[in-house]
Amino acid sequence: MFEPTHTAALTRLQRFVPRAGRDYASKRNYDETAHVSTLSPYIRHRIISEDAILRATLTRHSPQAAEKFVQEVYWRTYWKGWLEQRPTIWTACRADLNAALNRVQTESGLRCEWEAACKGETGIDCFDHWARALAETGYLHNHARMWFASIWIFTLQLPWTLGADFFMRHLLDGDPASNTLSWRWVGGLQTVGKTYLARPDNIAKYTNGRFDPKGLATFATPLEGPPHPTRSPVPASGTINPDARLGLVLTEEDLSPGWLLDQVTPVATAVVQSTAARSPLTVSPLVTGFVRDAMADCQARFAAKLGPITVLTPEALPDWVKAHDIEQLVTSYLPAGPTADVLGKTDMVQVMRPFDADAWPHATHGFFRFKDKIPQLLKGLAHA
């Protein structure tokens, strides 16, 4: 369904752009791929960047006509910026996940219910369909993700972190910020007390009658959790030493490094894949293969500027640095998540994309406050 190449991303973008206005605004909630961009696996790994998508969209539509799609692009940016100012939430969620997995090992009833949900064997037809479709394709429509999370939490009453982990293991676009905070939002932890309840009539409407589930929870009691941590400043972008022998570390967080290669000329490039760190359990081979092949496509596209390329494990980086006499390691900024967990302690200069540096400081409260800044951000994009 998703070819992991920049060319495929551009083709998909070109096909969608004509529908990014009225069609997307009116039909985006239907559980069909015909009315959405399906660009998320490419955006997640920046095989194609958000600013490239926005520019392409705004050459065809006015900001007003494409408002809903533009906002959807910025949702991912907002989630990242919000979590970047509260990174301990990611750490706490990982700890909660490990605790839930320990329960799975010791509580046979929970283990059976969790396994049935993951296999799509709950007896709830729509939920089971989405569980199997996700495992088979690596993708779910956004509305289906909300319904799925709500049923997981409020009808099946399973720990939400196990559901978020199921998504991270199988989604090609599994993004730590978007995924974690969206599950928290459904459960009433993100916007405290505000939950999302999957309703049979809503599912029937937006699946065009394919599903009309019975026995779903009729009330969504908010999950309990600690208050949000104190917000910290957005980290500053690192400073490159132009006189140093530079080594580039290419990760799955940014597979369009042309903007960074305009600033650095590496003597060598290390490619480090961190997909396995998305979960304590085995990540889907579909996801691992997509990322691996997307990284290979990136290497081929930018080979002339990358210098000698070596695919490495994180543990092999120090020896590689010595072998190439590298004085400074440079990489694109690693937001809170598995890649930062794997590489965050490595002595590297992390350079932030201007797109993120402009937007993340506005992700201080809810999305509606952030949304008010989008016209200003678009003006900056036009002049970049």
What would the pLDDT profile of 111-159 be if each residue is shown by its tens digit?
999 999 999 999 999 999 999 999 999 999 999 999 999 999 999 999 9
Q: Say if residue 1's pLDDT is above 90.
A: no
- Whether residue 338 is contained in a domain is answered as yes
CATH number at residue 308: 3.40.50.620
pLDDT single digits (tens) 339-375: 999 998 899 999 999 999 999 999 999 999 999 999 9
pLDDT band (50, 70, 90) for residue 381: confident
Contact 210, 216 (CB under 8 A): no
As a whole number of Å, the CA-based R_g of the chain is 21
Domain shared by 94 and 170, yes or no: yes
Domain shared by 71 and 122, yes or no: no
| Residues 190, 192: Cα–Cα separation, whole Å | 5
Q: Say if residue 382's pLDDT is above 80.
A: no
Instruction: Enumerate the β-bridge partners of residue 351.
Output: 332
- The parent domain of residue 141 ranges over 88-206
Domain shared by 153 and 80, yes or no: no
Domain shared by 46 and 145, yes or no: no
| Residues 17, 37: Cα–Cα separation, whole Å | 8
* Per-residue pLDDT, 323: 96
- Whether residue 234 is contained in a domain is answered as no
Domain shared by 80 and 130, yes or no: no
Residue 260, token pair as written in the block? 């960074």
- Whether residue 212 is contained in a domain is answered as no
- Whether residue 104 is contained in a domain is answered as yes
For tokens 């696996």, name the residue: 41
- Whether residue 214 is contained in a domain is answered as no
What angle, 0 to 180 degrees and rounded to 10, lies between the N-to-C axes of helices 67-84 and 374-383? 100
* Per-residue pLDDT, 383: 62
Domain shared by 101 and 121, yes or no: yes
pLDDT single digits (tens) 11-29: 999 999 999 999 999 999 9
Residue 42, token pair as written in the block? 């490419």
* Per-residue pLDDT, 380: 87
Domain shared by 122 and 47, yes or no: no
Domain shared by 93 and 198, yes or no: yes
pLDDT band (50, 70, 90) for residue 173: very high
Domain count for the chain, please give it.
Answer: 3
Residue 129, token pair as written in the block? 């369909």
For tokens 């974690």, name the residue: 180
Domain shared by 59 and 134, yes or no: no
The mean pLDDT of 319-325, rounded to a whole number, is 96
**CA quadruple 72, 73, 79, 82: dihedral positive or negative?**
negative
Last residue of a domain, one of 206, 228, 259: 206
- Whether residue 224 is contained in a domain is answered as no
Domain shared by 181 and 289, yes or no: no
| Distance, C-alpha 117 to centroid of its chain | 22
Domain shared by 157 and 127, yes or no: yes
Domain shared by 124 and 72, yes or no: no
* Per-residue pLDDT, 384: 62
The mean pLDDT of 203-210, rounded to a whole number, is 97
| Residues 6, 42: Cα–Cα separation, whole Å | 8
CATH number at residue 21: 1.25.40
CATH number at residue 147: 1.10.579.10
- Whether residue 238 is contained in a domain is answered as no
Q: Say if residue 106's pLDDT is above 70.
A: yes
pLDDT single digits (tens) 240-252: 999 999 999 999 9
- Whether residue 227 is contained in a domain is answered as no
DSSP state of 327: S
